[in-house]
Amino acid sequence: MIALKLNSTQLELPDSLLWPDEFSWNAVVTANKTGSTGALIIHVGKRKAGRPITLDGVESRSWITRALCDQLYAWAAIPDAEFDLVVRGVTHRVRFDNSQGAAFTARAQWRLFDSEHNGQTDYLPTFKFIEI
């Protein structure tokens, strides 16, 4: 189960969402420099936060209803809101990451006329979170 929780409200998301950047972040960072004597100096540190978490429903064809899109869109617009994101049984404390554009986007599964959109219309979502 994939779920997003704000306070006591939990929204369930499709289990088929892909996590393409799951293994593209590392908590350990290094910086290499050459000292004045020519020796290599390696600085090693550990990040405490900042892991990006992208959940992609476009590639996996995971759809959600328009009603759920409306709720998620409203949550993404709350400044400094912190959420519990549960993926694969692990809870991550996250915020929506709007640093590079919209953190939540969704497009209609099908091309529909405006009058055909309703709360049950299917949308393909993409989420961009940052772990805090």
- State the residue for tokens 């929506």: 96
Q: Over the stretch 92-123, which tens digit does the pLDDT of each residue have? A: 999 999 998 999 999 887 666 566 666 678 89
Tokens matching residue 67: 């009603």
- Band of residue 8 on the pLDDT scale cut at 50, 70, 90: very high
One-letter-per-residue 3-state SS of 24-73? CCCCEEEEEEECCCCCEEEEEEECCCCCEEEEECCCCCCCEEHHHHHHHH
* Helix runs in the chain, H state only: 66-76
Instruction: Using a pLDDT cut of 90, give the percent of the chain over it.
Output: 82
Q: Measured on CA atoms in the order 81, 67, 128, 1, is the torsion positive or negative?
A: positive
Q: Over the stretch 53-81, which tens digit does the pLDDT of each residue have? A: 999 998 888 999 999 999 999 999 999 99
CA dist 6 and 59 (Å) reads 26
The stretch 14-39 carries a mean pLDDT of 94
pLDDT at position 23: 95
Among 48, 47, 51, residue whose Cα is nearest residue 94: 51
